[in-house]
Amino acid sequence: MTSPRAWLIWIIGIFAYLVAVSQRTSFGVVGLEATERFHASAAEISFFTVLQLLVYAALQIPVGVLVDRFGSRAMIAGGALLMALGQLQLAFAESIPGGVLGRVLVGAGDAMTFISVIRLIPLWFAPARVPLLTQLTGMSGQLGQLFSVVPFAMILHSAGWTPAFLTLAAMSALAVVLVLVLLQDLPPGHPAPEPSAGLRATGVLLSHAWRQPGTQLGMWSHFTVQFSGTVFAMTWGYPFLISGQGLDTGTVSALMTLYVAAGIAAGPLMGSFVGRHPLRRSTMVLLIAAATAAAWAAVLLIPGKSPLWLLAGLVVVLAIGGPGSMIGFDFARTFNPAHRIGTATGIVNVGGFMAALVAIFLIGFVLDVLHASGFSPGGLYALDPFRIALSVQLLLLAGGAGAIIAVRRKVRRQMAAKGVLVPPLLATLARQRRLNSERRRNR
């Protein structure tokens, strides 16, 4: 039976992750205010998030090594402290370099949190509970985005820039205190994990993990379906909806809330599908990528401003990309031995965030080029330039889907060599229809 102490440890970890997500996504609702405060161009505003995501992605594998060496308690507390310092810096920054420094600290602290929280679960809970609690941790942490798009946005618009970011810094400071006082790395009497391997051995594991086609398939899956939602939530969604589509802040907050709720609702459904159809995981990823491209095309091509129902549909599709990208981690688990799953997971996690930072930068760059050329008399964030700039995501979606199809061939050849054959999808669907028909006749 799981002890109450274990549940307390998990709740503290979830709170720390929730805070980290709120810090990560907070800049997504201040794009217009940041443009005015820092007298910045669109490309310069995008650089805030690009650099933050670059730091996050670059630290994934090193953090995996450090958490094994120093434990989750030290890493989560250290991450929360860095995020507190970053938001404190941003609260008083009045120049682009000062603001960028704050976001770099936030990205570094954020990078230290999720992996460290996930590491606690198998140490405190029975193996049968680990998969569900891991999924719930990811889902619960996303509630932090609700804080950034509702209470944080309200504080920003009512009290101003500095009080809003001081509130975020205070949340991280509270997380530091709770983690140091209440969180423990190991249950009483639990043997300490073996020391992590040295840097050379870690490099060997990294090389072996990357050469595994299943790891590459996981990375490209994460790359393809995760980035568009991140771009929308962290940087360009809020300005696009406010300035491009002309929505009020209340409606935008409702759409962002829908984004979080849809992601939470889709998580269990995605997990159930993967569990029942493990040979169709890449097909699901490709379907999500196609739906994402179709949703963006509909919004960007429709004449004039989009109706609210279409924007809500876009938000739901983007939200599904979050749990859909978790399929990439399942590829890492399936195709790698236990001793290098952590390394493979780090590689997969880099994919979506690298795609996001490329997309965020390119969108800002295109907006600036169009504005400088006089393309849009309506301003930097008018609808017409947004149509062109946001369409760069379609190139990344196409490139990612092509990479998935190419790598999937290698994976299936590898599986066939071990006697595992993936039947054609149409044949599988026909077989499923026959089985369903037989069940109905036998009732």
Tens digit of each residue's pLDDT (9 = 90 or more) over 390-428:
999 999 999 999 999 999 989 888 877 777 666 666 666
Say yes or no: do domains 1-184 and 201-418 share a fold: yes
Are 115 and 67 in contact by the 8 Å Cβ rule? The answer is yes
Crossing angle for the helix pair 4-25 and 130-141, nearest 10 degrees? 40
pTM of the predicted model as reported, rounded to 2 decimal places: 0.76
Q: pLDDT value at position 49?
A: 76
Are 81 and 172 in contact by the 8 Å Cβ rule? The answer is yes
* 330 vs 222: CA distance, rounded Å: 11
Q: pLDDT value at position 170?
A: 94
Q: Taking the CB of residue 197, how many other CB atoms lie within 10 A of it?
A: 16
Per-residue tokens: 323: 């749990």
Place of tokens 């994990």: 193
* 45 vs 440: CA distance, rounded Å: 58
Torsion angle of C-alpha atoms 44, 45, 48, 49, degrees rounded to 10? -120
- Domain ranges (residues) in the chain: 1-184, 201-418
For residue 114, the one-letter residue type is F
Q: pLDDT value at position 144?
A: 80
Record: fold of 1-184: Growth Hormone; Chain: A; (1.20.1250)
* 177 vs 12: CA distance, rounded Å: 11
Residue 297: how many CA atoms within 13 Å on its side-chain side? Answer: 10
Burial class (CB in 10 A: 0-12, 13-18, 19+), 153: buried
Pick the CATH number of 201-418 from 2.40.110.10, 3.50.50.60, 1.20.1250.20, 3.40.220.10: 1.20.1250.20
* 64 vs 119: CA distance, rounded Å: 9
CA-to-CA separations, 422 to 174, 287, 330, 408, in angstroms, rounded: 50, 18, 17, 11
Q: pLDDT value at position 341?
A: 66
For residue 53, the one-letter residue type is L
Q: pLDDT value at position 248?
A: 87
CA-to-CA separations, 29 to 106, 151, 198, in angstroms, rounded: 16, 11, 41
Give the residues of the chain that fall short of pLDDT 70.
1-2, 128, 130-132, 135, 189-202, 205, 338-339, 341-342, 376-377, 420-432, 435-437, 440, 442-443
* 277 vs 284: CA distance, rounded Å: 10
Are 171 and 48 in contact by the 8 Å Cβ rule? The answer is no
* 168 vs 106: CA distance, rounded Å: 11
Q: pLDDT value at position 318?
A: 95
